[in-house]
Amino acid sequence: MADVPVIDFHSHILPGIDDGSKDVETSLRMLDMAASQGVDLMIATPHFYASRHRVEEFLPRREASWNRLKEGLAHHEGKVPDILLGAEVAFFRGISQADKIGAMTVGDSDIMLLEMHFEPWTDRDIKEVRDLVLDRHFTIILAHLERYMDIGQNRRRYADLFDLPLYVQINAESISGGKLRDWRRRKTLINMFKDGQAHLLGSDCHGIHHRLPNLIAGRNALKEKLGEAYLKKLDERGSNLLGLKGDTHV
């Protein structure tokens, strides 16, 4: 592992648990792809929907998936990224009051990858996020914030979120390549990194044909626009957040 590990904060790398990797073989190929891009650590973040799953059912299912992957890894050649278990927790009304949601954090940390909903956000929704951060003391990572920008007035709500000590994760594909018409969006997102409104990068990879491990594309875009020193800062921020090195700070 490099001095400061390269971390993919959002991945559907675990086999057969959600709409991500369909089996162990796919997961291993995804891990190989990530390794070839210099990724040292992937946070496995299978979808958790409170409307469909119970925490008591989700955790053993995630464990079983992880055990199947570990078995595959035992016979796998070549170095692959380390994996840390987490979840992509879909926001639901009442989440800030839900006792068991604490089991959905990354490893044994207080970090939670939170996926907001795809409707206009209400004051109450923003308050729930605030309560998760300030009352429940979760370290919230907002998953792929760019996906909500065009929904209602959500973008105007970002300012309320940016007031909170939380982290914003952006998908690598959103700042790299893509269609010409996305050029402005990419610029906006890269400026958010520059201005301290976006903090972490994830591949949000789901497979080997579609939505594949592509962290390097996002890293290259950041390096090209913001320089090598920024990339180092990004890696240090991620590492500090996970307690791998130094103190946590946004």
State the minimum distance, in angstroms, from the CB of residue 77 to Fe ion. 28
- For Fe ion, which stretch binds (CB under 5 A), given 72-80, 155-163, 199-207, 239-247? 199-207
User: Which of 208, 209, 189 lies closest to 197, judged by CA?
Assistant: 189
Part of the chain binding Fe ion (CB under 5 A), chosen from 67-75, 126-134, 203-211, 232-240:
203-211
In the complex, least distance from residue 247 CB atom to Fe ion, rounded to whole angstroms = 28
Q: Is 75 helix (H, G, I), strand (E, B) or coil?
A: coil
- Minimal distance in Å, beta carbon 134 to Fe ion? 25
Query: Which CB atom, from 14 or from 133, has the smaller least distance to Fe ion?
Result: 14
Dump the DSSP string for 62-83. HHHHHHHHHHHHHT--S---EE
Q: How far is the CB of 233 from Fe ion (least distance, A)?
A: 24
Nearest to 110 by CA among 205, 248, 18, 7: 248
Minimum Å gap between C-beta 227 and Fe ion is 28
**Three-class DSSP category at 115:** strand
> Least Å distance between CB 229 and Fe ion?
29
Number of residues that bind Fe ion (CB under 5 A): 2
Question: Looking at beta carbons only, is 13 or 132 nearer to Fe ion?
Answer: 13
| Cβ-based nearer residue to Fe ion, 88 or 146 | 88
User: From CA 102, how far away is CA 136, in angstroms rounded?
Assistant: 9
> In angstroms, rounded to a whole number, what is the distance separating the alpha carbons of residues 140 and 110?
8
Interacting residue with Fe ion among 32, 128, 204, 235 (CB under 5 A): 204
Mapped onto helix, strand or coil, the DSSP state of residue 19 is: coil
Select the residue whose beta carbon is closest to Fe ion and give its number.
Answer: 204
Residue with tokens 């409707």: 119
Cα–Cα distance measured from residue 61 to residue 240, given in angstroms and rounded to the nearest whole number: 29
Nearer to Fe ion by Cβ, of 28 and 114: the residue is 114
Compute the least distance from the CB of residue 21 to Fe ion, in Å. Answer: 12
Rg of the chain (C-alpha set): 17
Which C-beta is closer to Fe ion: that of 5 or that of 46? Answer: 46
8 close to 42: Cβ distance less than 8 angstroms: yes
Report the residue number, 173 or 204, with the smaller CB distance to Fe ion.
Answer: 204
Give whichever of 47 and 155 is closer to Fe ion, judged by the CB atom.
Answer: 47
Contact between 196 and 165 under an 8 Å Cβ cutoff? The reply is no
Please tell me what DSSP assigns to residue 109: S
146 scored as a contact of Fe ion (CB under 5 A): no
Residues between 72 and 111 that touch Fe ion (CB under 5 A): 88
Question: Contact positions toward Fe ion, by CB under 5 A?
Answer: 88, 204
